[in-house]
Amino acid sequence: MRNLLSVLLFLSFMVTVAQKKSVSGTVKLDNEKHREFVVKNSYIILEAGKKKYRKKIDESLMFRFNNLRSNEISFSFEPKSNPNVSYSYSFDEADMLDVELKYSPICKYSKENKVCPNCKSEEFVVPIVYGLVFLKKEDADKYFLGGCVTFGCDPFWYCKKDDLRF
């Protein structure tokens, strides 16, 4: 009886250990100029099943989460990335994942700079408007309709000559 109990405990332990997953990776910055801001202010958030883990992003921009028990995981950032994105992964056969997550904590669009980055001119540049917009016919060419859905980091300007949102 004692041997049977020992075997059952051992098997239970092995199943528990076998179910634990690990994920490691690197945060890839869209702009290296943001590194100092990211190291001081940013966190990576991992959701695995019903559990949520939060780690400060350090100078190496590398991370590791161990002892995960869910096959489905997702990542997000704090402060939110611009545009706001999350990443989802599945552990198929592997117990270990290595991922690279792109992160941009600061919106790249500026309301102040209305010069087109391609043609270097303001001549063909108009503001982008979002949402349900009602325009008079005579004002239609003075704006570009950006759509109804916004993400918190959206372009402010549109160049008609280059067909470019910036």
Confidence (pTM): 0.61
101: Cα separation from own chain's centroid: 7
pLDDT exceeds cutoff 60 at 166? yes
| pLDDT tens readout for residues 30-80 | 889 999 999 999 999 999 999 999 999 999 999 999 999 899 999 999 998
Q: Could you give the CA distance from residue 28 to residue 70 in angstroms, rounded to a whole number? A: 25
Q: Could you give the CA distance from residue 42 to residue 56 in angstroms, rounded to a whole number? A: 6
| pLDDT tens readout for residues 83-102 | 788 899 998 878 899 999 99
Number of neighbouring beta carbons within 10 Å of residue 97: 17
| pLDDT tens readout for residues 108-160 | 888 999 999 999 999 999 999 999 989 898 998 999 999 998 877 889 999 99
All domains of the chain in start order, with CATH: 22-103 (2.60.40.10), 125-165 (no CATH)
